[in-house]
Amino acid sequence: MRTSSNVTGAAFMIAAMAGFALNDATVKLLTEEIGLGQIMFFRGLSSPALPC
């Protein structure tokens, strides 16, 4: 069964919002353990690994 482009777009939007929420929660938890500069550095290293 083929899904419409609206359903596909909604699914991608939900995934993106979940990714932002997960990123925010991870940064908030990690700031208790390591510095913000280190978090930003490792986020910068991992972002090219994400599929485009």
**In angstroms, rounded to a whole number, what is the distance separating the alpha carbons of residues 11 and 26?**
22
- The answer to whether 31 and 42 have CB atoms below 8 angstroms apart is no
Whose CA is closest to 22, among 43, 41, 45, 8? 43
Categorize the per-residue pLDDT at 47 as very low, low, confident or very high, splitting at 50, 70 and 90: confident
pLDDT digits (tens, 9 = 90+) for 3-43: 789 999 999 999 999 988 998 898 899 899 999 899 889 88
pTM: 0.66
Residue 1 has pLDDT above 70, yes or no: no
Sorted by where each begins, the domain ranges of the chain are 18-47
